Amino acid sequence: MSDQPSSGRRPLIPGQIASWLGAISLVAAALIATGYAYTLVRRAPDALTDRRKAQQNLRAETDKKEHALLAEPSRNADGTYRISLEDAQALIVKDSQVIAKIQAGAAPAAPAAAYVAGPFVAADAEQMKRGAAVYARTCIVCHQPTGKGLPPVFPSIAETPIVVGNPELPIKFITNGLIGPITVGGMTFNSAMPPVAGVSDQDIADVLTYVRQSFGNKGNPVTVDQVKAVRAANAARTAMWNTAELGLK
Ligand code: HEC
């Protein structure tokens, strides 16, 4: 005898099939839930990848602009350069390639006139004081308080021939910057000095006078007229100077 109540109609879905259907729908529900959860989990990394891509693009764009600024440093109305010293320095440190790229695009120029140094003249104390202040503001981060630089990136300007030679060269380095291989104190540097921003003709004369008579150097003072003449002769120049075109090795 079955223990089913004999009175009732047969169920619409027999008991065994009903439990199978139940199991199947449970599995289906579980599958759907898992699939949905997966799409939720998936969406997060996609958003992250998108954001990362956007950041990469922005960085590439910024790098391109930085390179352009360093290669063709455009000036503001007051004569200062648009790229700050800190930015140029950071850029050089970050990307050694930038120097090679800029070098590839530099134009040749006429060689510097022969320089004959007159007898030594000590600078006056006032000019030395002004020069020391400009040095502390514009050169010290790279060439250091000692003038000995930070080899192998920043060369020494203590007791090197360029510093006490024709001031035309350092005036050019300050106004437009310098790139390319150069040997200083027996060590070859292949770095770049960015144009120095925010210096007047008087500042340049003062700082070079200071450098030429500090750190063991013995060079004559530099006058504002010397700075003006070099600036005027190279007024159209926007690119950095490169050591090869200046005959420096
Ligand atoms: C951002 C760093 C930086 C700053 C700031 C800087 N220089 Fe330089 N300077 C360099 C580098 C790098 C070189 C070598 C460039 C090369 O490898 O072609 C150099 C080269 C020179 C040289 C020729 C090489 C030598 O050692 O004799 C002189 C002179 C010089 N700098 C003077 C100055 C003076 C003066 C100032 C401030 C008005 C100044 N520099 C500011 C980085 C700097």
Which of 192, 65, 77, 193 is closest to 139 using CA atoms?
193
pLDDT-derived band of residue 204, with 50, 70 and 90 as boundaries?
Answer: very high
Q: Measured in angstroms, how far is the CA atom of residue 155 from the centroid of ligand 1?
A: 7
pLDDT-derived band of residue 3, with 50, 70 and 90 as boundaries?
Answer: low
Contacts of 72 by beta carbon, 8 Å cutoff, 6+ apart: 238, 239
pLDDT of residue 71: 63
Instruction: For ligand 1, atom 42, name the residue with the nearest CA.
Output: 193
Token pair recorded at residue 158: 């203590």
pTM above 0.75, yes or no: no
Q: Measured in angstroms, how far is the CA atom of residue 195 from the centroid of ligand 1?
A: 9
pLDDT of residue 70: 66
pLDDT of residue 187: 92
pLDDT of residue 51: 86
Check pLDDT > 80 for residue 188. Answer: yes
CA atoms within 13 A on the CB side of 208: 30
Q: Measured in angstroms, how far is the CA atom of residue 157 from the centroid of ligand 1?
A: 8
Peptide bond just before 152 cis, omega within 30 deg: yes
Q: Measured in angstroms, how far is the CA atom of residue 241 from the centroid of ligand 1?
A: 12
**Cα 59 to Cα 12: distance, rounded to the nearest angstrom:** 68
pLDDT of residue 176: 96
Check pLDDT > 50 for residue 229. Answer: yes
Mean pLDDT, residues 6-19 taken together: 72
**Cα 234 to Cα 175: distance, rounded to the nearest angstrom:** 9
Check pLDDT > 60 for residue 236. Answer: yes
Mean pLDDT, residues 69-86 taken together: 63
**Cα 129 to Cα 168: distance, rounded to the nearest angstrom:** 22
Q: What is the tens place of the pLDDT at every residue in 108-162?
A: 444 445 677 788 999 999 999 999 999 999 999 999 999 999 999 999 999 888 9
Is the shortest distance between the CB of 222 and ligand 1 below 6 Å? no
**Cα 223 to Cα 213: distance, rounded to the nearest angstrom:** 14
Q: What is the tens place of the pLDDT at every residue in 18-58?
A: 788 888 888 888 888 887 877 766 666 678 888 888 888 88
Is the shortest distance between the CB of 191 and ligand 1 below 6 Å? yes
Instruction: For ligand 1, atom 39, name the residue with the nearest CA.
Output: 139
Place of tokens 């030395």: 128
**Cα 130 to Cα 212: distance, rounded to the nearest angstrom:** 14
Pocket test for ligand 1, best of 80, 83, 143, 230 (most atoms within 8 A of CB): 143
- Choose between 102 and 1: higher pLDDT: 102
Atom of ligand 1 nearest to the CA of 140: 5
Check pLDDT > 50 for residue 240. Answer: yes
Atom of ligand 1 nearest to the CA of 179: 18
pLDDT of residue 112: 47
Is the shortest distance between the CB of 190 and ligand 1 below 6 Å? yes
Check pLDDT > 70 for residue 170. Answer: yes
**Cα 101 to Cα 239: distance, rounded to the nearest angstrom:** 12
**Cα 82 to Cα 71: distance, rounded to the nearest angstrom:** 12
Is the shortest distance between the CB of 227 and ligand 1 below 6 Å? no
Of 5-19, 73-87, 156-170, the least confident:
73-87
Check pLDDT > 60 for residue 5. Answer: no
Instruction: For ligand 1, atom 17, name the residue with the nearest CA.
Output: 191
CB 91 within 8 A of CB 153: no
Token pair recorded at residue 159: 């007791």
Residue-averaged pLDDT of the chain? 84
